[in-house]
Amino acid sequence: AADDATDAIHAPEVPRIASAEEALAGAHVPTLDPATMNGAEIRAVLGAGEHCEFRYTSAGKPVLAFAPGRDGSATKGVVKLNGHLVALQAASTTDEVVLSAEPIRMTLGPAGGQPADGQLHEVNSVFQVGDALKVGYRGYYRCVDKP
């Protein structure tokens, strides 16, 4: 079973969606990392349907998810920080996916278009919080029909 499969009786409560500033309140920013999300958390922001995701490991849960446009570029996204879901908006770019909610910025790429058939592709990601934190991750990117 999927690592986030639960029955309706024991389904975990989805954290509330917060602004970037609310999610960062009280967090020790220099040690902050995007947290893993389950399907219900992703759907709370992106809705049902196709989405792309970035995960630290090939078997781990996603830490960034976004809804792709027809050309594979991002339209909107979600990240979980300090126990809150933060909705991200797409920023224009060439061969990278860039999502932000000031002062948070997530970059994924070069993405090279949308991976086909749910295949995992190695990619770099950069997580930035204003001038206080900038950290890079090597991980895996894929697109799926629904979370």
Q: What are the pLDDT tens digits along the chain (147 aa)? A: 445 544 445 556 787 777 777 777 776 666 688 999 999 999 999 998 889 999 999 999 999 999 987 776 778 999 999 888 999 998 866 678 899 999 999 998 865 455 556 778 889 999 999 888 898 999 998 988 765
Question: Is the pTM value of this prediction over 0.85?
Answer: no
Taking CA atoms, 63 is separated from 42, 54, 71, 121, in Å, by 10, 6, 22, 15
Q: Where are the alpha helices (DSSP H) in the chain?
A: 20-24, 39-46
Distance in angstroms between the alpha carbons of the first and the last residue of the chain: 14
Which whole-number Å values give the CA distances from 6 to 12, 39, 92, 121, in the listed order?
Answer: 8, 10, 37, 28
Q: Is 23 buried (19+), middle (13-18) or exposed (0-12) by CB count in 10 A?
A: buried
